[in-house]
Amino acid sequence: MASHRRPKQPGRTRATVLTATAAAAVALSANSAVADPEPTKRSVKAKVDKLREDAAAATEKYNGAKEKADKLQKDVDRLQDSVARGQGELNDLRNGLGSMATAQYRSGGIDPSMQLLLSADPDDYLSRASTLDQLSLKQLGSLKKIQGKQRQLEQQRDAAADKLKDLAKTRKELGDHKKKVQGKLAEAQKLLNKLTAEERAEMRAEEERASRAAGERVEMGNEGTASGRAASAYEAAKTRVGMPYAWGAEGPNSFDCSGLTSWAYRQAGISIPRTSQAQANAGMRINSMSDLKVGDLVILRTDLGHVGFYAGNGQMLHAPKPGAQVRYESIARSGMPFMWGVRI
């Protein structure tokens, strides 16, 4: 006879265990899906390199704002000095006019006809009358000079006020660019801090090896030199190989990219603009890398944010980025697109 007993239900304890196990499995799966993987040395290096390159490009914008601020400050100083000198000249003119007015008053506030009647010597009166006429002409001339000087001072004061407004705006831009540079570098350091001390040491050693290898003399190929002055500037830059990159620095013992090129040209007795963006338009443009000559400037990045010297054989001599040194490097391997060359 078939049994009609109901199937045995699982115990409450067993069900609870199964439910808890399932929940734990789901939680573990969810956590593994959202947890950040441990950063590898390679991935950190790639991100740090990118941040440092961005910091180097931001440095060029900082340099541009600093150059503008320095120029504005000189303009303001010159205008304020001119206003101070002009105010002194105006005061002298006013004092002179006052002295003439006093002398005229003392010489006679009497009607000319009465002066003639009272004068014992008509010739003396005529002489005095002539002097009074001359004083009046001097007064008129002084008044015109005073009016002209006042207008000039007002224009100079207005110009100085406008320059001061521009200066305040530029200094704010300068501060913003500085914060951006420092922010990029701080972010890079934060990433580096996620690595172990051993991994950081390995990365430093790799960078030092790269700098030493890149610092060696490159094969220049068959390219000629751009010009005598470009050759002189390039020779000066070669003496800085191994010097550290420092943002905003223009030598002689540390450099950013445009700091190196502008410093080198100064050693050749030539002044070129301070920033890579301005240097990109400082001479004859060379559109093809095949037409470059040693000593030409090499402009990289779509924002024209990097510059170096062409060293021949597809190489450049440059100050690459924070954490690196002045060195030779393949343009193609720099990771920055070639825009054009500039022949000074």
pLDDT tens-digit profile, the chain (344 residues): 444 555 555 554 444 444 444 444 444 444 444 445 566 778 888 888 888 888 888 898 899 888 888 888 998 898 888 888 878 877 777 676 666 555 555 555 544 544 544 455 555 655 655 554 555 666 566 667 777 777 888 888 888 888 888 888 888 888 888 888 888 888 888 888 888 888 888 877 777 776 666 555 555 556 677 788 999 999 999 999 999 999 999 999 999 999 999 999 999 999 999 999 999 999 999 999 999 999 999 999 999 999 999 999 999 999 998 888 999 999 998 889 999 999 99
CA separation, residue 23 to residues 13, 28, 33, 144, 180 (Å) = 16, 9, 15, 96, 46
Residue with tokens 């660019």: 177
Q: Please give the backbone phi and psi of residue 259, each rounded to the nearest 5 degrees, phi first.
A: -65, -40
Query: What token pair was written down for 235?
Result: 């020779």
For residues 251 and 240, is the Cβ–Cβ distance under 8 A?
yes
Fold classified for 41-193: Helix Hairpins (1.10.287)
CA separation, residue 266 to residues 52, 66, 104, 250, 284 (Å) = 27, 19, 62, 11, 19
Instruction: Classify 238 as helix, strand or coil.
Output: helix
Do 41-193 and 222-343 come out as alike in CATH topology?
A: no
Residue with tokens 């009497």: 110
| Distance of alpha carbon 201 from alpha carbon 321, whole angstroms | 19
Instruction: Classify 241 as helix, strand or coil.
Output: coil
Report DSSP state, residue 283: S
Domain ranges of the chain: 41-193, 222-343
Q: Output helix, strand, coil percentages for the chain, rounded to the nearest 5.
A: 65, 10, 25
Query: What token pair was written down for 254?
Result: 């540390």
Q: Give the closest residue to 315 by CA, choosing from 333, 336, 339, 331.
A: 331
Angle, helices 257-267/228-238, rounded to nearest 10 degrees = 120
Instruction: Classify 245 as helix, strand or coil.
Output: strand
For residues 321 and 53, is the Cβ–Cβ distance under 8 A?
yes
| Distance of alpha carbon 293 from alpha carbon 98, whole angstroms | 71
Peptide bond into 252 cis (omega under 30): yes
User: What letter represents residue 288's amino acid?
Assistant: S
| Residues acting as catalytic residues | 257, 306, 318
Query: What token pair was written down for 167?
Result: 């200066």
Report yes or no on whether pTM surpasses 0.75: no
Q: What is the DSSP string of 92-116?
A: HHHHHHHHHHHHHHHH--S-HHHHH
Q: Please give the backbone phi and psi of residue 327, each rounded to the nearest 5 degrees, phi first.
A: -160, 170
For residues 298 and 316, is the Cβ–Cβ distance under 8 A?
yes
Residue 303: count of CB within 10 angstroms of its CB: 13
Homologous superfamily of domain range 222-343: endopeptidase domain like (from Nostoc punctiforme) (3.90.1720.10)
